[in-house]
Chain A
């Protein structure tokens, strides 16, 4: 038994080197900055590192605006067209925010276009006059959204309890919902139930997209929102600064508030122009506060509640979430239900935009635009990263392209190609920046 007598081979060398100072880990810019100058430098570093946040989207929007403005001979940036662009983008924005729930978890939901369309078809059918089941507009909307939520919850249950891949389950859901939509459309008012009518219920649903708020009320409401939001931002940042917590400098808080105020003023000013060819059509369209409401609600849910925190934790590291006692199946199932519910709102707006439902509604291209918008806005396809804001900005990009192409009377085929190229660029940025950060962290360990 001589082998135990010799000195065992031990990693002695490591012990002596431990005196070396801890290598300073690469800092994420921004979190340690104290002044506005530091912030600007940190921001620039982050852009160079590929962690550019929403900047590329803003740049893309400016480029799109300049290009279409020049080739359309000045028609693109008219008040009438900009409001139209907002209305078209609203559907993409809400569908992209819906898809965000699945994407942050690292899953995907392919069914939302048709599931939302079934919900919208149910709502439109329920407000048809003369049918045996004429419901008031609010009940009809609730019914449509309830269907979507249940459909999403069933898909979520299959995905989490039976551990089926979300891609396949929602692909099946896509087909099933497509069939259901055709069935619903063949009920009471076959084929093309319309929203054109003078009864309150149909008018209300039609006005979700086409109605406008009185210009004076628009100004007052926007001012109140800016004051409340700005005040809250200022007070909470100031409180964090004074108690020594991580907070942006006062100048940056002021810039943020100023930007919100300017954005609100510009939007209201544009919408308050008379955009009708004949007669008067002015004021902020209802669809803008609807989108902002969904955006605000989901931003609060994802960033300020336990549920939202768990969604991100599962997207980042499901095992960590499981060990922390998070009920993964429940969080995931609810996320799929919320995804379908939000899609129901988006497709309801689409029905309102079309002035009714028809069997030509293509839920397939809607879902592709939704995924594209979320990813273009900055949501990662790999899970763990994404915000409702990404859906809003990405939806605006898709809407801007869609609107510009339409204005040029360019064929739909070019629109597909351009949107596809933009999506490809966005996914490339997402993938490359992720690879960069992963290799970086491996190198630092």
Chain B
């Protein structure tokens, strides 16, 4: 464990605070005393090697797993998130790597899937199309030519944009994105990273789970690093450089190799 954990966080009360979270699967301790703060209006990057516990932590926040011990505070209040429904009711939306879009449905239908608007018992397509259009425009997702095209015909970046716009439309306060640029070609990460910044500028909390140091240093305001189920460090991105992040990810600490973390107390 490092000294960084004990330091007070700069942002006063964070949107989401995780305290002493433990989770084990049989004999495997997946999360061990995890403390994490995710503030509003900032992009928090959660990094770590494979098996560090990023996915388990994410799924615990989004209600798919229940923690064994510890507390989750949402806007300062302790909450129990027992299902994906619970988390979206609080305003937490998770955009998984596979995006969970139905290829055969169009953009409007995907954005409203599970929460369709009705008029007289039938689907109110006009009103849904109007709202979806406004949301996409407000996020400046402009490369989509028609919001009535099936998702199958969209590029990877556009699909990611649709998935994010969906969560924004539903008034979420925290958007968790798992590996948002991993499946994208060369040209599209730009589009997605811009979108992440726009979410932050709207005052949303954004948590990005990523391996990609380029992405992390491009968009993250804060960086939190996990190693073997522990959250070993979290701090402003300015206090890290690439080498220190890699070192935390691979060894769980600094100093053993005489690292060069530029932070001063």
On A, residues with C-beta under 8 Å from B are 1-5, 7-8, 10-12, 14-15, 17-28, 31-32, 239-240, 243, 245-246, 300, 304-306, 309, 312-313, 315-317, 319-321, 323-326, 384-385, 437, 441, 444-445
Contact = CB atoms under 8 A, between A and B. Distances in A.
Contact of A11 (B116, B187, B191, B214): B214
B121 interface: yes
B126 A243 contact: yes
A316 B122 contact: no
Contacts of A385: 104
Nearest to B254: A4
Most chain B CB atoms below 10 A, which of A11, A12, A441: A441
Interface stretch (B14-22, B32-40, B141-149): B141-149
Nearest to A33: B146
17 contacts: A1-B257, A1-B258, A3-B257, A5-B258, A10-B213, A18-B190, A28-B149, A243-B130, A245-B129, A245-B133, A315-B104, A317-B100, A321-B114, A384-B104, A385-B104, A444-B155, A444-B156
A8 B118 contact: no
Chain A contact residues: helix, strand, loop or mixed: loop
Interface string B104-116: 1110011001111
Nearest to A383: B104
Given A4-B250, A316-B104, A25 B153 contact: yes
A4 B116 contact: no
Contacts of A19: 190
Contacts of A305: 121-123
Given A27-B145, A31-B148, A305-B123, A319 B98 contact: yes
A4, A15, A23, A319, most chain B CB atoms within 10 A: A4
B243 A323 contact: no
Leading 7 A-B pairs by shortest Cβ distance: A324-B114, A316-B102, A18-B190, A316-B104, A384-B104, A1-B257, A445-B156
B1 interface: no
A22 B114 contact: no
A321 B152 CA distance: 16
A438 to B, nearest CB: 8
Interface string B126-166: 10011001000000000101111110111111100000000
A320 B100 contact: yes
Given A27-B149, A312-B104, A320-B110, 8 more contacts: A8-B213, A10-B214, A17-B186, A22-B158, A23-B185, A25-B145, A26-B153, A317-B102
A369 B213 CA distance: 57
A313 B184 contact: no
A14 B129 CA distance: 35
B154 A4 contact: no
Contacts, number: 163
Contacts of A313: 102, 105, 109, 113
A26 B158 CA distance: 12
B122 A304 contact: yes
B101 to A, nearest CB: 6
Interface in B67-116: 84-85, 96, 98, 100-106, 109-110, 113-116
Contact of B103 (A10, A21, A384): A384
A1 B243 CA distance: 14
Interface of B: 84-85, 96, 98, 100-106, 109-110, 113-116, 118, 121-123, 126, 129-130, 133, 143, 145-150, 152-158, 183-191, 193, 212-214, 218, 242-243, 246-247, 250-251, 256-259
B36 to A, nearest CB: 23
Contacts of B188: 18, 22
Contacts of A444: 154-156
A327 B193 CA distance: 34
B187 A21 contact: yes
Given A4-B251, A11-B212, A441 B152 contact: yes
B155 A25 contact: yes
Contact of A317 (B103, B156, B186): B103
Given A5-B258, A320-B113, A246 B146 contact: yes
A321 B113 CA distance: 7
Nearest to B215: A15
A31 B184 CA distance: 25
B113 A4 contact: no
Given A31-B146, A317-B103, A445 B113 contact: no
A15 to B, nearest CB: 4
A323 B104 CA distance: 16
Nearest to A445: B156
Nearest to A325: B114
A445 B185 contact: yes
Contacts of A246: 129, 146-148
A22 B191 contact: yes
A27 B154 CA distance: 8
Contacts of B251: 1, 4
A148 B258 CA distance: 75
Contacts of B157: 22
A4 B191 contact: no
Given A1-B257, A245-B126, A304-B122, A14 B153 contact: no
Given A32-B145, A444-B155, A306 B246 contact: no
B243 A4 contact: yes
B101 A317 contact: yes
Contact of A18 (B110, B152, B186, B243): B186
A60 to B, nearest CB: 24
B214 A4 contact: no
Contacts of A384: 102-104
Contacts of B154: 25, 444
Nearest to B211: A11
A55 B79 CA distance: 56
Contacts of A22: 143, 155, 157-158, 187-188, 191
Contacts of B150: 28
A17 B189 CA distance: 10
Nearest to A8: B246
